[in-house]
Amino acid sequence: MSHFSQIKTQIRNLSALQTALTDLGIEWKAGPQQVRGYQGQTQVADLAIAQANQFDIGFRWNGQEYELVADLQYWQQPWSINGFLNRVTQRYALQTVLNETSKQGFQVAEQQQCEDGSVRLVVQRWGA
């Protein structure tokens, strides 16, 4: 029986996920990668995060979104699972907004990290 858990996310863009993880200082490897779990079990993921304890975290495309795949019993991150997903999702959302506004000709005028953890973003576009 597998010890792996799959946690649904709202993450659909791999490149924005990669940038979000990099922004958070999390080292990752592009897949396909084997995510290691209990008693040598593995799962294939599109992106893997190695942990010091030799049990990995991965993100795998399930046909609709990138789900988090890990043996949660061996979670070894500075944040709880929810804290990790909240931080990754926030940075992912910021990357998505930045990418979409850039496509529409906007530039970042101001970006500020607020005390409550939120990000204040001001974009502008100059008309012709």
The per-residue pLDDT for range 29-87, each reduced to its tens digit, is 998 999 998 888 899 999 999 999 999 999 999 999 999 999 988 999 889 999 999 99
Domain ranges in the chain are 5-124
* Long-range Cβ contacts of 20-25 (<8 Å, 24+ apart): 20/88, 20/91, 20/92, 20/94, 20/95, 21/47, 21/49, 21/88, 21/91, 23/91, 23/94, 23/95, 24/87, 24/88, 24/91
What pTM does this model have? 0.84
